[in-house]
């Protein structure tokens, strides 16, 4: 199970998948910093004036997936600056080097095949 990474495209399905990931993570890590309610605020209120296909979403949220599991990691910026939050399922902490590489590069569009 090799994780792959991809940009966030702000589709309704992808948004719900991230919220489900965050809810599952909360059950495992009560000290997480980003939860599904905050994701909703980020998408619908804080950046609700942006179009669904606005570049902001692709440039400021990135997910890591594992086949058969789904999302195992998220890196997101609340305001589009250096205020990054990283959330990773505890069983997949090995992806941190990839997450940090993405942060340094700010988003090579590797993608999942």
Cα(73)–Cα(59) distance, integer angstroms: 16
Write the CATH number of the domain with boundaries 4-105.
3.40.630
DSSP 92: G
Average model confidence (pLDDT) across the chain: 91
Half-sphere exposure of 29 (CA within 13 A, CB side): 17
Give the residue extent of every domain in the chain: 4-105
Which pLDDT does position 62 carry in this prediction? Answer: 96
Average pLDDT, stretch 31-56? 95
Asked if the model's pLDDT at residue 113 lies above 90, the reply is: no
> What angle (nearest 5°) sits at the alpha carbon of residue 82, between those of residues 59 and 48?
50
| Phi and psi angles of residue 4, each rounded to the nearest 5 degrees, phi first | -130, 160
| Arithmetic mean of pLDDT, 17-33 | 94
CB atoms within 10 A of CB 42: 21
Q: H or E stretch including 74?
A: strand 70-77
| pLDDT, tens only, 45-92 | 999 999 999 999 999 999 999 999 999 999 999 999 888 999 999 999
Residue 11 pLDDT class (50, 70, 90 cuts): very high
Cα-to-chain-centroid distance, residue 78: 11
pLDDT score of 109 more than 60: no
Does residue 106 register a pLDDT over 70? yes
Amino acid 68: pLDDT:
92
């Amino acid at each position: 199970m090799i994780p792959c990474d991809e940009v966030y495209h702000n589709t309704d399905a992808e948004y719900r998948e991230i919220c489900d990931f965050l809810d599952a993570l909360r059950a495992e890590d009560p000290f997480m910093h980003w939860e599904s309610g905050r994701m909703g605020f980020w998408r619908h209120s804080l950046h609700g004036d942006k179009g669904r296909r606005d570049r902001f979403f692709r440039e400021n949220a990135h997910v890591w997936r594992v086949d058969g599991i789904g999302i195992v990691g998220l890196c997101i910026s609340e305001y589009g600056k250096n205020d990054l939050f990283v959330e990773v399922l505890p069983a997949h902490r090995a992806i941190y080097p990839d997450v940090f590489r993405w942060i340094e590069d700010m988003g090579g569009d590797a993608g999942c095949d």
